[in-house]
Structure 1
């Protein structure tokens, strides 16, 4: 028989209050799902910078409703095609000068503009302030994107939850409807709407609303098929909860990450779609401005006045890149496993 091991007499003495009672305690602060997602999002510097860039553009675009440098639709042929001029800046490209016949001349002096007149981003071929028109066009593009996203949320989420929850023949039929809609190109839809309605925001929004919700519906439906088999959903059904209450209490909260992420990718797609339609002449019509119409007007004088195309192109590119980077950051924040899968 092995020898008995005797513990020292002081092994069972009580510890005092200050004897490091918590020295081996492992604990983390209690965080909700949203707080934990925000903590992960803040670690992604690119996503945070993109978020503040988008906030900046939203403030500028919608703030121009209250204050704008000039009337975006005011025509002033006397000041047509003036280059950018920043007060107190003597750098070429921002001092109101341009090259004509191999010589740099003061375009503002040639146009008879006083020293107090300046256009931060220059003017177009009709003398309209380019900065004011870019702000106006950005606001139009953002409004179309937000309204289109609203339809994407209301129709796509409702359709996807209903299809996934019902399953069976109902789900099969509803998915065949989506496949039929996806087989119709967006451009065909917008052309048909233009035959009925005049070109403008209404026709563009309806075209995006008609086809844009399908991706959201398919993603939500796939997640609903998975979530409805979870124990807490089956328990709610056993307790007699109605389908509507289960959808709002159990399905929607667990679908929030998918919905938010897809929304952040829907907005730039809608902005680009509107810009494309306006660029080819079947979107926003004159005298209203959008980023697409500004690109179309600027490319006509691109060889001699490239700034008229560069500035709206830069704004459109920054918005698209910022939305995509922010969407990637949200995806990683709401679904940490996506980083390891990627």
Structure 2
């Protein structure tokens, strides 16, 4: 039977042509290799609302932090002769933006009545002391953003470090550290602020100290929960088996895997800090005069809201845009870093 079997010769084999190889190449399924951050950025770009919010925030941040170089007026300079002037934008003849007021049913030029020169105009009008409201809104936005940056700094330092240590150590150390957090959570933020004002004068220093005491607690709890879950994963156990130090494991393995939780929580911490600062300044225990913040501007504008509503509307609109944009961007980042959260 073996003799009847056909023997194969080299002539029975032939190389595939280039056309055949090209056909096989076309059948391959290939995709570009992306890192975790690149893939997250790709998903974020598909979220139009988050991208619009990001662009708006970038514009506001640039305007606020560069305004000291180009703002038309000193935000703290007073001019009682030009007090309570309405907004005036050159070249626009629309009521509310042309420098006119409604007095007894007729429109009058408030700038001419105040004796202002032809070249003088205020884009958002002036307040009760004649200060440029546009410059003060930019200054107040910068103060609010600085407070938000301080809160983010303490989130990234105290909160992340506290959470990693608590979750990594576990046992009695974790119990003691969590009881400390629970005690701090039982004290309302406003109480801490009032107590600090009794020691310090109202201002940015008291707000920053209050943020340093309380703002990092939520971050610490989230990081601790994720650390408890990650420390039993195979790659962490392998690193410990190889003898890597806890510090190296924290920076090389834990932090990269905690990055999404840290970034997302930071994006929700920022609007919370902005709102807390605005609220404290609004009730008179935050930023003190003559400095301006969005809270003090809203408080001052409320006094003349019935007759000069623009003094309150402009800072309130800027505050609302900041809060909404940060929250929408935070939602977008959460969906980008964790697509399963959308299900």
TM range (shorter): over 0.9
Match of 1:330 in 2: 333
Q: Deviations over 1:285-336 (max 9, x none)?
A: 0000000000000000000000000000000000000000001111111111
The correspondence for 1:76, drawn from 75, 79, 91, is 79
Matched residues in 2 for 1:195 and 1:99: separation? Answer: 45
Shift of residue 15, structure 1, vs aligned partner: 2.8
Shift of residue 114, structure 1, vs aligned partner: 1.4
Shift of residue 84, structure 1, vs aligned partner: 0.3
Matched residues in 1 for 2:69 and 2:261: separation? Answer: 36
The correspondence for 1:230, drawn from 228, 233, 238, is 233
Match of 1:6 in 2: none
Matched residues in 1 for 2:123 and 2:231: separation? Answer: 56
Shift of residue 12, structure 1, vs aligned partner: 7.5
Matched residues in 1 for 2:237 and 2:211: separation? Answer: 36
Residue correspondence of structure 1 range 1-342 to structure 2 within 5 A: 14-19=15-20, 20-340=23-343
Matched residues in 2 for 1:69 and 1:334: separation? Answer: 42
Q: In structure 1, the residue corresponding to 2:128 is in which secondary structure?
A: coil
Tell me the TM-score normalised to structure 1 length.
Answer: 0.95
Q: In structure 1, the residue corresponding to 2:18 is in which secondary structure?
A: coil
Matched residues in 1 for 2:199 and 2:41: separation? Answer: 45
Matched residues in 2 for 1:339 and 1:292: separation? Answer: 35
Matched residues in 1 for 2:247 and 2:176: separation? Answer: 21
Q: In structure 1, the residue corresponding to 2:107 is in which secondary structure?
A: strand
Matched residues in 2 for 1:25 and 1:337: separation? Answer: 28
Matched residues in 2 for 1:257 and 1:24: separation? Answer: 36
Question: Quick check: 269-278 or 12-21, which moved more?
Answer: 12-21
Matched residues in 2 for 1:109 and 1:172: separation? Answer: 70
Shift of residue 85, structure 1, vs aligned partner: 0.3
Matched residues in 1 for 2:320 and 2:18: separation? Answer: 62
Structure 1 unmatched runs, 5+: 1-10
Shift of residue 31, structure 1, vs aligned partner: 0.5
Structure 2 unmatched runs, 5+: 1-11
Match of 2:7 in 1: none
Shift of residue 169, structure 1, vs aligned partner: 1.0
Matched residues in 2 for 1:16 and 1:333: separation? Answer: 45
Tell me the TM-score normalised to structure 2 length.
Answer: 0.95
Matched residues in 2 for 1:251 and 1:18: separation? Answer: 49
Shift of residue 152, structure 1, vs aligned partner: 1.6
Match of 1:3 in 2: none
Q: In structure 1, the residue corresponding to 2:275 is in which secondary structure?
A: helix
Matched residues in 2 for 1:118 and 1:65: separation? Answer: 18
Matched residues in 1 for 2:163 and 2:18: separation? Answer: 57
Q: How well do the aligned residues superpose, as a CA RMSD in angstroms?
A: 1.2
